Structure 1
Amino acid sequence: MRAALVVCPASGLGTAARVAGTVSAALRDSVDHLGQHVPTSADETVAVLRSLVADGTDAVVVLGGDGAAHAGVQACAGTQTTLAIVPAGTGNDLARALGLPPKDPIAAVTEVAQALAEGRTHRIDLGKVEDGAWFATVLCAGFDSAVNERVNRTRWPRGPRRYDIAILAELAALKSARLIVRTESETLELAANSVAVGNTPYYGGGIPVCPDADPADGWFDVTVVGQAHRRDLVRILPGLRTGSHVDHPAVTTLRAKSISLAADGGWIGYADGERIRELPLDVRCVPGALRVVPGRSSQLRGLDQ
């Protein structure tokens, strides 16, 4: 097996750089050849990944956070190259969905190395934005994407507290908008605060916004939070951590293989934590679009050896 380790050194406030040597050593005994690349920017990361896939690399191992994982998805989707994730960021939602330890890159690479040595891979579905990006986890718009927008505009404080401050600021500025959700079988039109289209359950560092989403069933799970006063949204937010938010009267859930989202108010779509563009967006689920390396606790079905 020809494999490549792509290190995104700034991920996790430098965590990726600190563990890169240990990760590389853990992988070398599991593959026939391991190349190592340390791109210095997001654009260079994408270019390196695409070059590796074009050269026929069997497996690409990305050491970084959700942004690095998203770049790996763009390069490996629809190809025969396997994508492996060693999480070293703050969210690590794709790694979590694959059954890897999301907060321990050394434990995660041990599992990845063993799976590579044994040739264990899985095929998972991906979301595809029409004329745009692939995504592996969740596409969201509304309140959630407004929080992301605010985080991206600010530089202080660093780390998770920046998200906490952004949430409070967006709650203070909360406005609902007319949202239209069209699927292959139904149309939902309502005043809403947010919508999440889940290929996997998690976003925002382990929040199961679409708790029953399965990335190997050919369907999206969709969670819509309807018009709610900020005090109601404050009551809904704690339930996000357990998945019980879907039982709140303001929340509507549905399933779809393709979905069209439109909203008044300039909502921005974010997928895998990355900015896509303003709604409207047309999205479809592409079954088996990505080969990945599972962790020990993976619940993925359909072993693809």
Structure 2
Amino acid sequence: MLAVTAADHPAPGPDRPAPRPDGPVAVLANPTAGRGRHRGLLPRLLDRLAESGRPVRLLEAGTAAEAEVVCHQAVADGIAALVTVGGDGTVHRGLQAVAGTAVRFGPVPAGTGNDFAADTGFPADPLAAVEVIAAALRDGRSRPVDLARLTGPDGATRWYGAVLAAGFDAIVNERANRMRFPRGPRRYDLAILVELARLRPRRYALRLDGRPLDVDAALVAVGNTASYGGGMRVCPDADPTDGLLDVVIGGRFDRRTLIRVKPRIYQGAHVRHPLVSTHRARTVELSAEGITTYADGERALALPVTVTAVPGAVRLLR
């Protein structure tokens, strides 16, 4: 799926159509997620969902922008639930449509990075995850979890479920997306090398629930859940049910320090480094020059942005 930079749809709210109790389950599947390794599972996943006793409707989309359009249209048509089959990027597209509505949501992890599904308690195996979702559909069961709402100065809005990257990782992603070669994972590896050579702390201006904080930093992440990048626990204590955002700031790292600290993020041990600080807030205002943020691994909005924790913004089929 291709990345989009801003929402073309109004923010969800109480005026959005309510789901029909007898409505179908819509499925957004990304066949290229996880380099296509789960492509052959889709018919079995759809059959398992149909066993919940509800009609299943597979949504057709060729691009990320189309995916968001068809998800919004499905919600407007009165679906009872939306299920995504893919990674965090596919989840991100679906969340734009269901956030703030009563439409229930189920992520089937089938991508390279499945951080939102993992951090909200879904099994890593796609078939096991769809069994959990189908059982919740049969039983009429769901549970609310928080989302983060990202707003730009022009009013553009994005929702995300996992982590907003606004430092070195976002800069690397932006460079990798501008590169035409090499293809595959090597492009990202090359982007890391280029940005490591150019590494310099940036000046950030933050307001945490109105409290100002100005820092020089190389790493800034705002987490609704703990992980990004396929299991990197950058905000290790983030809880998507506490109504708060976790902010992790890695200060004036030089190249050698960043290379040493980066592997520790997988265990969340980086927060013990003296150059790392952690904070919690309901609202985070974040500004810096020349940085485009990435939310759930997807290109989002350029700084400055305001990030707001929205309690119970999505109902998960668990």
Structure 2 counterpart of 1:224 = 249
Structure 1 counterpart of 2:209 = 184
Which AA in structure 2 matches 1:253?
Answer: T
Tell me how far 1:25 sits from its aligned partner: 0.9
Tell me how far 1:212 sits from its aligned partner: 0.5
Contact kept, 8 Å, 2:150 with 2:306, in 1: the verdict is: yes
Q: Quick one: distance in 1 between partners of 2:120 and 2:187?
A: 27
Tell me how far 1:190 sits from its aligned partner: 1.7
The answer to whether 1:135 aligns with 2:157 is: no
Give structure 1 stretches of 5+ with no counterpart.
295-305
Tell me how far 1:160 sits from its aligned partner: 4.4
Contact kept, 8 Å, 1:245 with 1:251, in 2: the verdict is: yes
Contact kept, 8 Å, 1:8 with 1:16, in 2: the verdict is: no
- CA-atom RMSD in angstroms: 1.7
Structure 2 counterpart of 1:298 = none
Contact kept, 8 Å, 2:60 with 2:70, in 1: the verdict is: no
Q: Quick one: distance in 1 between partners of 2:226 and 2:141?
A: 23
Q: Secondary structure at the match of 2:141?
A: coil
Structure 2 counterpart of 1:8 = 30
Describe how 1:1-305 pairs up with structure 2 within 5 A: 1=22, 2-102=24-124, 104-130=125-151, 131=155, 132-154=157-179, 159-264=184-289, 266-294=290-318
Contact kept, 8 Å, 1:122 with 1:293, in 2: the verdict is: yes
Q: Quick one: distance in 2 between partners of 1:277 and 1:51?
A: 23
Contact kept, 8 Å, 2:158 with 2:300, in 1: the verdict is: yes
The count of corresponding residues between Structure 1 and Structure 2 is 292
Q: Quick one: distance in 2 between partners of 1:100 and 1:155?
A: 35
Which AA in structure 1 matches 2:306?
Answer: D
Q: Quick one: distance in 1 between partners of 2:272 and 2:307?
A: 25
TM-score (norm 2): 0.87
Tell me how far 1:20 sits from its aligned partner: 1.0
Q: Secondary structure at the match of 2:218?
A: strand
Q: Secondary structure at the match of 1:206?
A: coil
Identical columns (%): 46
Give structure 2 stretches of 5+ with no counterpart.
1-21
Contact kept, 8 Å, 1:198 with 1:210, in 2: the verdict is: yes
Which AA in structure 2 matches 1:273?
Answer: G
Q: Secondary structure at the match of 2:97?
A: helix
Q: Quick one: distance in 1 between partners of 2:37 and 2:106?
A: 18
Q: Quick one: distance in 1 between partners of 2:275 and 2:295?
A: 23
Tell me how far 1:3 sits from its aligned partner: 1.1
Q: Which moved more, 1:133-142 or 1:249-258?
A: 133-142
Which AA in structure 2 matches 1:54?
Answer: A
Q: Quick one: distance in 1 between partners of 2:32 and 2:206?
A: 37
TM-score (norm 1): 0.90
Q: Quick one: distance in 1 between partners of 2:220 and 2:278?
A: 10
Q: Report Cα offsets for 1:267-294 as digits up to 9, x if no partner.
A: 2111111112221111111111111123
Tell me how far 1:41 sits from its aligned partner: 1.8
Q: Quick one: distance in 2 between partners of 1:210 and 1:93?
A: 12
Which AA in structure 1 matches 2:32?
Answer: A
Q: Quick one: distance in 2 between partners of 1:145 and 1:165?
A: 14
Q: Report Cα offsets for 1:58-94 as digits up to 9, x if no partner.
A: 1111112211110110000111101111111111111
